[in-house]
Structure 1
Amino acid sequence: MIRRQILTGGAALGATALSTTLASPAVAQTAPEIRWRMASSFPRSLDTIYGAGDHVAKRVAALTDNKFQIRAFPAGELVPGLQVADAVQNGTVDCAHTASYYFVGKDPTFAFDATVPFGLNTRQMNAWMQHGGGREVLKPFFDSYNIVSIPAGNTGAQMGGWFRKEIKTVADLNGMKMRIAGIAGNVMQKLGVVPQQIAGGDIYPALEKGTVDAAEWIGPYDDEKLGFNRVAPFYYFPGFWEGCLNLSVYINKAKYDELPQLYKDALESACRDATVDSMAKYDVQNPQALRRLIAAGTQLRAFPREVMAAAYKASFELYDELAEKNDHFKRVYDQWRAFRDAEYGWFRVAENSFDQFVYAMYAQEAQQRR
């Protein structure tokens, strides 16, 4: 008899596991055995971000008594990490685990499935996707690419990346070659940066050789693994282009439509579980890694307010420009912007006021202990 656990998330980050018998013995005996291949955009060495896709595969197998099995492959083993959307679309692979903003060169609308500069934080993104209409408004867009996209992982707020020189004014960005993903590259281009789209495994040699002057990836835990601190001394925050990063499982639409409802439900449950799990891991791993990086000589810097303000202005100018000439982008942007405005109003009242007070008190107590 096939049994599975359904993870339901009424609150943005909440998840409750319910073990439910979903099939009678007769159904269990006739449930098909399905084998899929999942192409990841991430190297296996980055165990948390790659691990979110692997987590989905393992949970799906567990929830279907191993009737439905997905085998995850790291970037490059089946297809290059930045080509997984094409591979899913044309059926070369059954599914992929990726970050949608890698494909903004096809259409900037992809960015909304991942993150956009000065957008939603982790909880807000999860709320938009699960209960705020995000997946529904994105569905027609993904249908046009023969893809079903399910949220499956989140990194939380990211860092601003590694720089060879200090950034004191907007002028310091002029002519800088920077590895930066997604629509953020278009924003930074407005500030004089020359954006470079480079897969995670190729960033270190590019930074080491000077092919790029700066590079962003995720945060302390993954950045430490990739060794960026050895080739660039300045570590900037915050990654204003990534208040979070929603990861996704892409599924070939024809393959998805062939699945029994039982297996579709298993996929949904596994993906929600991977989202909660990956966020929790990063929230444990990043503080420890940041302390190690600073102890090893990394120079932590905040982006100047002038740079942040210029980037904010450039971001929303860009969104307006894209909405004027791209119907998909405008439809999603209009719904997303209304949701964002409502969320910001609420978070300013409760979350932000709480955070500001307790962090200020923590800083005061820390100063007194010195």
Structure 2
Amino acid sequence: MTSLASAAAAEQGVRRRRSAGRAARWIVTRVAGAVFVLWAVATLIFFGIRLIPGDPAEAILGGPGSRATPEALAQARAEFGLDQPLLTQYLHELGRLATGDFGTSYSLKVPVAHVILDGLGSTLLLTVLSLAVAWLLAIGLALWATRGGRIAATVSTVLEIVAAAVPNFWLGTILILVFSVGFGWLPAISTPGIPGLVLPVLTLAIPLAGFLGQLMRESVLNALDAPFTVSARARGESETGVRLIHALRHAALPAISLSGWAFGSLISGAVVVETVFARPGLGRTLLNAVLIRDIPVVIGVVMVVALVYIVVTIATDLADRLADPRLRAQSSSGGGS
């Protein structure tokens, strides 16, 4: 009896060590991947922004209209290291980024970190609300399409296709014309408070909802014929309970897996939406910085957006494992990382 208990304890210890080893490998893999992505983003944006016509020294001295003298331009290049070889500038930039130093804005003459903090909260609020609204719209469309009969399925399919294909700038313009100019219900320019968020959030959420709705509708239809839903009906659960508890949970798994990509798509769409609705945020900050070649601001904003995307992707991976028992079983049995 004692030997059996000892063997069981030893087996349990081996399983714990294996589980800890898999968790450590998962963490190391994610951290290494994050470092690589950040390095690749920094490299691409550093060399990419220098392909844009114009002199960064002009941004330092107030932009192309400043009519700076050649001597002033040369002094600005020397002060910010722009007269050094491009490879030297690149290595210096990587060194600063590795320490979390984004430098000083050429045009605003303030630390880039302050510029980012001023717009980060507004952009994150816009994207998080848009993602939540997109999920609600997608769930509503999927349930209506699978419960409302052939007409509902046809109408929802058309709505999903149209919504997924609509560009953000066009949708934002139409929403302004209808709800601001036509009915006068909502402000055309984003203002503080809930009314100023409605149109920007809908502009970002509707196209994403169309894509997620298509994905979830097919998954719900497949789940309704799966063995676990048949068993649920056999146990006496109502059709509503089967759809909401079993089928919808199964259908949400593919959409959860794509939520990281969706969040990144929303952040990129925020550049257009914040411009259309004159809303302060990282999107408008990035666009203005690119136009005037404010290199430190461009690199800083893109790096922070990339970091947020990485964090959201990892969180999505964890949520996917929590929502799907098969992934947890696979991980615990050693079948996945």
**If each structure's helix is expressed as a fraction of its own residues, which one has the higher value?**
2
TM-score normalised by structure 2 residue count: 0.29
Higher relative contact order (CA 8 A, sep 6+): 2
Q: Which has the larger radius of gyration?
A: 2
